[in-house]
Structure 1
Amino acid sequence: MNTGVWAGERDHTARLRPRAWTELLLVLGLFLAYKVGRLAVDGRVGAAYADADFVWHLERVLRLPDEASFQHLLLNSEALVRTANIYYAVVHFPATIAFLVFMYCFRPEHYIRFRRILAWLTAMGLAIHFVFPLAPPRMLGSLGLVDTAAVFGPSVYGPPQTDTLSNQYAAMPSLHVGWALVVAAGLIHATRTRRRWLWLAHPLLTMLVVAGTANHYWLDGIVAAALVGVLLVATSRQEHPSPSVPVQVRRSVGAPVKQQRPEAVKPT
């Protein structure tokens, strides 16, 4: 292949990739908004417990699985419980950061779209946290659920009354599940291997973990999935085109151009 074509492809890819320092600031701002925004809506404890009672009964009306029964299956193995706690505590942020770095470096034509989806999903989640504070299942002792992180470790939360690092009454929607879905959707969309659909295991496993550890209700994950679906559809036309080299570039760097035959002169 002509070196000029490769140069054209590199130039086109470079134009699709935003400046690294501006993206670093944007991503840091996204994560800070996630933490600070949760703190800004903290303190509505009474409403959070009332909404928890509503969500619990709505799930029973919708015949969703009982979180307590599902957790009892997990509690049969202490090793499994500890693994679920570690997954909840460790995977969420690093997996999302690794996804953004991969898309920025290797799939720049898809990067901006999925970075925007993450930003909008986080903003929508924080808005819902404000209007609909929700105590997680682990705080509802009457349901027979166990705070597995507090009992078995490791735990990322302190006592709700003294925890100044996070808003523990912000279960709806589950941004753990939402971000995992964005990661899976982005990798499936941006890659072409036959095994790319295995990335769906990440949000599925995340949903099972957050429910099994009593950090979220099933509806928290369902609402997050609905928001991600809306954002995927809304941004489907905003994505940059594939980094291919225009036909004019290929022709100008060595592709043979067919010469037209001179028209025969008709005898007069």
Structure 2
Amino acid sequence: MTVAPPPRTPAPAAARHRVRGGVRPHPVWELLLIAVLYAVYRIGRVLASGHVGEAMRNAHRVWDLERTVRLPGEERVQALFLHSESVIHVVNCYYAYVHFPAIVVFMLWMYLRRPAYYRWVRWVLIGLTGLALVLHLSMPLAPPRMLGIDGLIDTGQRYGPAVYGAPQAHSIANQYAAMPSLHIGWAIVIAIGLIVSARTRWRWLWVLHPVATVLVVVGTANHYWLDGIVVSVLLAAVLVALRPSFRRAREADAPAIGEYG
């Protein structure tokens, strides 16, 4: 006589969510949060503009400090690109068109495909951008292309495409908010998020994105080396503060290990 196996007990809802890699936040609330944060950020960037004299004085101090600690001159990186007008145009396009679309695509992908890590990444970006905004407000800084240093030019204005209009323009692209570089900071966040959430052996290639971003922002004379160093320190502090959130994300994602390519 064959004994029928006992009926399976449905897994608790929480367990089912963990297998799927975490519960996605409600999209309406996420859109509202993004809209509010964007409005705050835009207002902050506008408030940070207009301090031309202070921004120029700070720029000369940063330049002198970099030479004191023997950091390589930003003009050396730019010289590598200026050998070819096609290359410098590609570099300018990378600066102009990759930064913001990349973070939008990254966050959308994390929301849809890696929901276990999405909340952690979202708070990392909020924390880093908030700290950066505080520095933008407290330390206006003109980019190196405005210093008139021999060997440094405004590659965007010279070869195109140009990101910035007149320096006096009030926009989210504030030219006097070089410190720290969110181009570099956001690129590092993208690389970290994709590396820790992916399972493919090729995931480490995402390191090339922040490396390329550093060379681009320095080579176009839009940022100093120190802008990247400072944003890296800020990001490290945010990551340490959000370690509990990362542990929860990793635990929620654990049942799904092996499902990702």
1:42 match: secondary structure: coil
**CA apart distance, 1:5:** 5.6
Distance in 1, matches of 2:194 and 2:44, equals 28
Judging changes above 3 Å, is the alpha-carbon distance between structure 1 residues 16 and 77 closer, same or farther for their aligned structure 2 residues? Answer: same
**CA apart distance, 1:243:** 4.2
Judging changes above 3 Å, is the alpha-carbon distance between structure 1 residues 8 and 125 closer, same or farther for their aligned structure 2 residues? Answer: closer
2:244 match: secondary structure: coil
Q: Does 1:30 align with 2:37?
A: yes
CA contact (8 A) 2:187 2:213 kept: yes
Report the TM-score when normalising by structure 1: 0.85
**What is the one-letter code of the residue matched to 1:203?**
P
CA contact (8 A) 1:35 1:166 kept: no
Q: Does 1:52 align with 2:59?
A: yes
1:141 match: secondary structure: coil
Could you tell me which residue of structure 2 aligns to residue 18 of structure 1?
A: 25
**What is the one-letter code of the residue matched to 1:123?**
G
2:93 match: secondary structure: helix
Could you tell me which residue of structure 2 aligns to residue 213 of structure 1?
A: 220
Please, which of 99, 104, 119 is the counterpart of residue 92 of structure 1? Answer: 99
Q: How does 1:17-166 map to 2 (within 5 A)?
A: 17-166=24-173
> After the TM superposition, which segments of 4 or more aligned residues of structure 1 sit over 4 Å from their partners?
2-10
Flag the structure with larger Rg: 1
Judging changes above 3 Å, is the alpha-carbon distance between structure 1 residues 244 and 62 closer, same or farther for their aligned structure 2 residues? Answer: closer
**CA apart distance, 1:206:** 0.4
Unaligned stretches of 5+ in structure 2?
1-7, 256-261
CA contact (8 A) 1:157 1:163 kept: no
Please, which of 252, 258, 261 is the counterpart of residue 242 of structure 1? Answer: 252
Judging changes above 3 Å, is the alpha-carbon distance between structure 1 residues 213 and 10 closer, same or farther for their aligned structure 2 residues? Answer: same
Please, which of 168, 172, 186 is the counterpart of residue 179 of structure 1? Answer: 186
1:238 match: secondary structure: helix
**What is the one-letter code of the residue matched to 1:225?**
S
Judging changes above 3 Å, is the alpha-carbon distance between structure 1 residues 128 and 146 closer, same or farther for their aligned structure 2 residues? Answer: same
**What is the one-letter code of the residue matched to 1:69?**
R
Percent of counterpart pairs with the same letter? 49
Unaligned stretches of 5+ in structure 1?
246-268
